Amino acid sequence: MRNKITVIGAGHVGETAAFNIARLELGDVVLVDILEGVPQGKALDSFESSPIFGFDSTVLGTNSYEDTADSALIVMTAGLARKPGMSRDDLFYKNLEIVEACIREATEVSPDAVIIMVTNPLDAMCEVARRASGFPRERVIGMAGILDSARMRAFIAMELGVSVENTHAFVLGGHGDSMVPLARYSTVAGIPITKLMPHDRVDAIIERTRKGGGEIVKLLKTGSAYYAPGLAIAEMAEAILKDKHKILPCAAYLEGEYGISGTYVGVPVQLGRRGMEKIVEIALTDEERAAFHNSAESVRELIEMIPVAAG
């Protein structure tokens, strides 16, 4: 029997994630949205590409959570997108109600699922989903670090004129301007980027990574990124559904790791069939640890704004 994967939200991120999950044949995909006809049309378009790509996973569009029952994985992308000049924090109250309602409905019919959160502000919305679902922290994780690391890898490749396949990047912290890209853990063919480019160019890449989402929002003017986020979701889904025990940067709920408790923040996570298997702790310098804790505190401030009703 194939896995069933629910993707909530048929916007650009949701449809891209659904398509890539189906293309990887991770299971049958259900794309759900409140807009009538939109998930149905996008799902049909995706499935009609299956003879070309050669995948047999089905893609169903629906407006009913009944069709999502018994999903192994729930991907939450629904919510309002950022607009020019809008920070991720501005989205908080607008998306809180959406996340709470959708997660409650989805988990009621799929009580054993793993949740991948994507809706912004990502780290705080992970906590909303954890409370709304009642799931243990292992089964509510956020997609952020993979995207942030991919952006940094792309910028490194552009700067040095090398293949992106040779690049590796390491990003910790919240998904936003306070994220902590770690240059000394970021490499090209195993060589730290600090050995390959001047300090000012490293700093420029770090700053561009922090502002990566906003850069695209500013350019598009009427939307936000979706190709890279959709593929990042698919990579997480593959690690979970194939029980790969793969270590990826994800938003996870910390209970003492890195000296932080009671908040979601981006860290290296080993993923498997039941979600988060363990958090990998790495050595940080005093400066890196301070920046990481500052990022976590920014997330905590948002989490403290979550109404009791969301718990």
Q: Which residues are catalytic?
A: 175
Whole-angstrom CA distances from 95 to 59, 87, 106 are 26, 13, 16
Q: How far apart are CA 258 and CA 247, in angstroms?
A: 17
Token digits for 36? 């009538």
Give CA angle at 129 (128, 134), nearest 5°. 105
Q: How far apart are CA 213 and CA 177, in angstroms?
A: 10
Among the listed residues 308, 309, 284, the one whose alpha carbon sits nearest the alpha carbon of residue 295: 284
Among the listed residues 150, 171, 175, 123, the one whose alpha carbon sits nearest the alpha carbon of residue 267: 171
Q: Is 229 within 8 Å of 147 (Cβ atoms)? A: yes
Sheet of strand 187-188: strand arrangement? 167-168, 187-188, 191-192
Q: How far apart are CA 173 and CA 182, in angstroms?
A: 10
Residue type, 55: F
Q: How far apart are CA 31 and CA 67, in angstroms?
A: 9
Q: In the chain, helix, strand, coil percent, each to 5? A: 50, 20, 30
Residue 266: other Cβ atoms inside 10 A: 29
User: Which helix (H) or strand (E) element contains residue 247?
Assistant: strand 246-255
Q: How far apart are CA 103 and CA 98, in angstroms?
A: 8
